[in-house]
């Protein structure tokens, strides 16, 4: 656990997510988007608050896992299964978006980048899995 994690008492995942949101707020300030910066700071505050809430004793497993605050290997397995479902939905979604772009005859660069990132993550993740996965 890093010093920041120890001080904030939130998981590494939540530290990275909240720091990324705050970085986005700084970029928004640099480009002069004060409203966007305030919104992102608010989102970061809510994110850290929900992370701290998820670590409280007595919260449900769903709250803890949904808040990326796993306590043990069981929580981690539940979280990974949830992310697997999200990945399948994302793959289907980008497939639909690609078909819609072709049908409409328009190309959206943001959708192209998202599609490339998701398909790249899928191609990277498959070979890193164990040869035999247990359900």
Q: How is the chain split into domains, by residue range?
A: 1-71, 72-135
User: Going by C-beta distance under 8 Å and a sequence separation of 6 or more, which residues neighbour residue 97?
Assistant: 111, 114, 115
Half-sphere exposure of 132 (CA within 13 A, CB side): 0
Residue in the structure block whose two tokens are 């850290």: 48
Q: What band does 133 get if pLDDT is binned at 50, 70 and 90?
A: low
Rounded CA separation 1/124 (Å)? 27
pLDDT of 12 reads 86
Q: What is the DSSP letter of 114?
A: H
pLDDT of 27 reads 96
The pTM (predicted TM-score) of the whole model is: 0.67
Q: Please check the confidence at residue 4 and state whether its pLDDT lies above 70.
A: no
Q: What is the DSSP letter of 2?
A: -
Neighbours of 74 (CB within 10 A): 11
Q: What band does 72 get if pLDDT is binned at 50, 70 and 90?
A: confident
């Amino acid at each position: 656990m890093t010093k920041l994690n120890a001080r904030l008492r939130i998981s590494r995942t939540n530290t990275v997510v909240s720091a990324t949101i705050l970085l986005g707020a700084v970029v928004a300030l640099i480009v002069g988007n004060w409203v966007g910066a305030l919104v992102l700071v608010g989102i970061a505050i809510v994110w850290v608050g929900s992370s701290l809430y998820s670590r409280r004793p007595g919260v449900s497993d769903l709250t803890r896992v949904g808040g990326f605050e796993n306590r043990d290997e069981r929580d981690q397995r539940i979280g990974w299964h949830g992310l697997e479902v999200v990945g399948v939905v994302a793959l289907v979604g980008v497939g639909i978006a690609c078909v819609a772009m072709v049908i409409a005859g328009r190309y959206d660069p943001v959708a192209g980048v998202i599609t490339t990132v998701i398909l790249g993550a899928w191609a990277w993740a498959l070979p890193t899995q164990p040869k035999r996965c247990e359900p």
